[in-house]
Amino acid sequence: MRLFEQIRLGTGWFRDSLKTVRLQPLSFTAVVIAYAGIMGLLGLIPIVGIVFAGFFWPFGTIMIAGAGRDTLSGKIPSTRPLAESFAKPDTRLRLVRAGILYSIVLVTAAAIWQFLGADEIAQWQITKDDRVVWSSALQHIPYGAIIASTAFYIPCMMAMWFTPLLIYLKNMTIGKALFYSFTGCLTNLAAVITALFLAFFTFSVMIGCASVLLGVMGAGSIAIFVLLPVTLLGTAIFYGTYYPMWRSVFSEVSHSDTAPDYEMPTRV
């Protein structure tokens, strides 16, 4: 019975995500684009890009949650929560520390992937314009690297998933936030998997249907103009699950005794 309740809960988060995108298809998607764009640009910086992206992640997470809350509250979402997340020095410092931890997770996961998958990846064929020949990649899939890096990344991500909001809204220490985030994800794991699976499945169906339609119409020349907005909407649906998760799992978690009166309706 517990499993069915979890599946129903996750389905509810997914429905709220669809509602978020339906209410503000342009504004909410624009916030998601801003988040993904900044993360992507930072990640392109040579050598230290992944570290800078990790630093930004907790602040961007607050922005995504704020956009979801505003949309479901009948307001127009914006990037304002991103600026507000930098406002309080003590909170800002803890968020930066969370970003450092996230950077360490990303770097370590990448190192595990590269170390364990080096032999298989070395056999991938690369074209003259530095493109991977996918047929060769499929013949040399680094299964060990995939399993090991995933086994490391997922538990770490469970601990990091809600940490930015627990720090920002509940005024928790970073250690306490990591613990609450991990246990929150663990006790609602089936619901989280359900919501993310439904979002990913919907995203895949949207891309698949658009591709088939373009093929039937023989409109390959305009594919980018069709697939790009479909991809952005699908990505927005995926990120739209985040605030409903937070609201459901942590709305009843008390602030610490010394916490300022941060409330979701006014801060995020």
According to the model, what pLDDT value does residue 10 have?
95
Burial class (CB in 10 A: 0-12, 13-18, 19+), 168: buried
Whole-angstrom CA distances from 205 to 138, 192, 209 are 23, 20, 6
> Nearest to residue 54, comparing CAs of 101, 113, 89, 108?
101
Task: Read off the pLDDT of each residue in 45-56 and give the average, rounded to a whole number.
Answer: 88
pLDDT tens for each residue of 224-234: 888 888 999 99
Q: How confident is the model at residue 43 (pLDDT cuts 50, 70, 90)?
A: confident
Separation CA 97–CA 177 (nearest Å): 12
Separation CA 153–CA 162 (nearest Å): 15
Separation CA 172–CA 82 (nearest Å): 19
To the nearest whole number, what is the mean pLDDT of the chain? Answer: 88
Q: For residue 199, which amino acid is it?
A: A
According to the model, what pLDDT value does residue 252 have?
55
Separation CA 199–CA 193 (nearest Å): 10
The DSSP code sequence of 94-145 is: HHHHHHHHHHHHHHHHHHHHHHHHHHHHTTS-B-TTS-B-HHHHHHT--HHH
Q: How confident is the model at residue 131 (pLDDT cuts 50, 70, 90)?
A: confident
Token duo for residue 177: 């936030």
Task: Read off the pLDDT of each residue in 39-44 and give the average, rounded to a whole number.
Answer: 91
According to the model, what pLDDT value does residue 224 have?
81
- Whether 6 shows a pLDDT value over 80: the answer reads yes
pLDDT tens for each residue of 245-255: 999 998 755 44
Tell me what percent of the residues of the chain surpass a pLDDT of 70. 93
Task: Read off the pLDDT of each residue in 119-124 and give the average, rounded to a whole number.
Answer: 83
Rounded to two decimals, the pTM is 0.85
